[in-house]
A = this chain, B = another copy of it.
Amino acid sequence: MTRSWWGWGHVEDAVGARERAKLVERVRAVLPDADLALHEPPDPATLPVPRSRIAPRFDHCSADPVDRLAHARGKAFRDVARNLAGQVSDVPDLVARPRTEQDVVDVLDWCGHEGIAVIPFGGGSSVVGGVEPRGLAGPVVTLDLGALDRVLEVDPVSRAARIQAGVFGPHLEQQLKPHGLTLRHFPQSFEFSTLGGWLATRAGGHFATLYTHIDDLTESLRVVTPAGVSESRRLPGSGAGPSPDRMFLGSEGTLGVITEAWVRLQRPPGHRAKASVRFAGWPEAVAATRAVAQSGLYPANCRLLDPAEAFLNAGTGTAVLVLAFESADHPVDSALQRALELCRDHGGESTVEDTSAAWRSSFLRMPYQRDAMAQHGMITETFETACTWDGFDRLHAAVTEAATDAVREVCGAGLVTCRFTHVYPDGPAPYFGVYAPGRWGSLVAQWDEIKAAVSEAIATAGSTITHHHAVGRDHRPWYDRQRPEPFALALSAAKRALDPHNVLNPGVLVG
């Protein structure tokens, strides 16, 4: 399998002619005036990648232009659009591929000494400009951790494993399988993202409730910082000062390079119960979802799709709540039955039909389809947040209005959708989708305008600029408004203490 240099995932899994025709047809039905001409991606070898400004210092460093190009950006719509347009701007000077933790230490020492910026790189699936050397004046080394890909130790009694940070999702699970254990952290990027990336960005995973973020599955971290290696103790819980792990979780490569973690595992679930519930209206669907989220039933899946999302994904025009319970220990049918009862209280009609497999497959196809449609000039992108239940209606109205207005102004037409990816007793994590016909040549500028409008609406509503996609460089202005100023002072001071030469992912989070 070959990784696409310009788009999502594997070249072999890209949207083929038949799937593409169907997608174009579906869009044309809704947007008859859209210009949907197909644009092929450029040959990366022909792109004007700037010459590397530094000589490879270690034998694991590559200065190959296409290699560097493939490490220059994440996989957000704006990355794909720029790649398709052949826009080459900020490209790292070298790609380093450490084979040992000592290699990581050596790269940080070298870069600190020479004042070279270091961008830690896992799977490169950032959708927030997290791995892009944007606007950095000096030389840049991208530190690709993919060679650190082993499960080093399994503790079957405590159900935990020590795992190197560069391992990709499938390879991680494959190594755990012989032990009868699983991490069950399945972000949409699962195939193309790494444990270290999940930890550094506080990634959201499989579980819609309880263990929603990788944070909750983290037992201890090992982090190489320019000031030394930080290793926390393996502790199921602690009250000894502020949590060291919680400082590195979400630090996005600005405080150090995560090289290993002990993570919490479980046995694969043998008991499952699933259902889909349809609602006459969105408010009833939201109220039912809140009831389930506050019930203490803790469904593994609790994904609410608004009518537009449901139509795009399942061809039905009513709000749908996809519910699933799972357990390795005990039957979960009664939990599902109680959840369905709560849904019925709000007019929800459950169906025996299990849409979760269809949803999962459609979920994993989405990024490929987004890329295919980008080739036709379609802007397809998502953004997510979290808010209290009390504030949801206001947030939803404000964001929908801001996005709809922006899409109309910028693109003339378009669709804005909403779903919940995770839910908590005190609020949901809404995930919005935007589908709009762009102008070839202006896709990035158009999206940036829409993104700014929705980010403003989220910030004004007092919600978070990201629930599980990290801050990166794209969210920085709104993140700066979100975090309390004294915390910014503290984090900046911590950064200066750990990274005195300010070489670690400059521009992200602080500074």
Contact = CB atoms under 8 A, between A and B. Distances in A.
Most B CB atoms within 10 A — which of A212, A237, A390?
A237
A368 interface: no
Given A237-B386, A486-B256, A490-B497, A250 B244 contact: no
Contact of A240 (B229, B243, B298, B465): B465
Given A239-B467, A246-B243, A264-B426, A233 B462 contact: yes
A362 interface: no
A295 B270 CA distance: 12
B489 A227 contact: yes
A464 interface: yes
A467 B241 CA distance: 10
Interface string A215-257: 0000100010101111111111111111110111111100110
A297 interface: yes
A237 B296 contact: no
A208 to B, nearest CB: 11
A242 B236 contact: no
A427 interface: yes
B390 A471 contact: no
Contacts of A297: 329-330
Q: How large is the interface on A (under 10, 10 to 19, 20 to 34, 35 or more residues)?
A: 35 or more
Q: Copies of this chain, how many? A: 2
A388 interface: yes
A425 interface: yes
A389 interface: yes
A406 B328 CA distance: 44
A131 to B, nearest CB: 16
Contact of A296 (B290, B327, B422, B484): B327
Interface stretch (A43-51, A114-122, A156-164, A431-439): A156-164
B240 A479 contact: yes
B230 A160 contact: no
A342 B479 CA distance: 47
Interface of A: 155, 157-160, 201-204, 210, 212-213, 219, 223, 225, 227-244, 246-252, 255-256, 264, 266, 290, 294-298, 327-330, 334, 338, 342, 386-391, 422, 424-429, 462-471, 475, 479, 482-487, 489-494, 496-498, 509
Given A236-B425, A236-B426, 4 more contacts: A232-B483, A237-B467, A239-B467, A296-B330
18 contacts: A155-B390, A202-B239, A210-B210, A212-B237, A229-B484, A230-B485, A235-B427, A235-B463, A236-B386, A236-B425, A236-B429, A239-B470, A240-B479, A241-B251, A241-B252, A241-B483, A264-B426, A490-B494
